[in-house]
Amino acid sequence: MSVATEFPPVVIIPERARRADSATRRAQSGTGRAHLRLVPVADAPNPLLSPVAASARLAESVPLPSAAPLRLTRRGTLALAVLVALAGTALLFAAHLSAGGAAGPTSAHSATVTVQAGDTLWSIARKVAPERDPRAVVDQLVSRNHLHGVTLTPGQTLRVA
């Protein structure tokens, strides 16, 4: 005996089709269709479906309750505002730390230089303005500081700007 003959066929008809079919059956009663009958889905589950598939199919037909809308209380609003403020403060602090020494434009040299032992006008000119010609910077140092020669003494202060 085969498996196909053990179970009677199950026909599932949607609700809207059942309403239309009942009116048609009343009109056609006595035409030899008495052997067909409607089987509700809940009364006769499909035996070929696994229990998991049958429960999944039943879960699809059961309407789920709608979720309640989200309500934010005053305490929740205050907690959310504090959380956002803390996150913003943390981001600003991280940005400040990552900026390092690039806080703003700084002058390439200070306004005065104190002469150290072994310094010459040439070495000071290269330290003060490394991008410029040292000969022109030496001439500016001599004229700004009213120097009469190229000799310098340690501890002497020179104006460079």
Tens of pLDDT along 54-82? Answer: 566 655 655 666 777 778 899 999 999 99
Q: Which amino acid is at 28?
A: Q
- The sign of the torsion formed by the CA atoms of 130, 131, 134, 136 equals negative
Tens of pLDDT along 4-15? Answer: 566 677 777 777
Q: Of the ranges 67-71, 103-107, 117-121, which is most confident?
A: 117-121
- Rounded CA gap, 134 and 138, in Å? 6
Structural domains of the chain, ranges and CATH numbers in brackets: 3-61 (no CATH), 112-159 (3.10.350)
Residue range 100-129: average pLDDT? 76
Residue range 98-104: average pLDDT? 62
Contacts of 75 (CB under 8 A, 6+ apart): none
pLDDT in the model for residue 35: 61
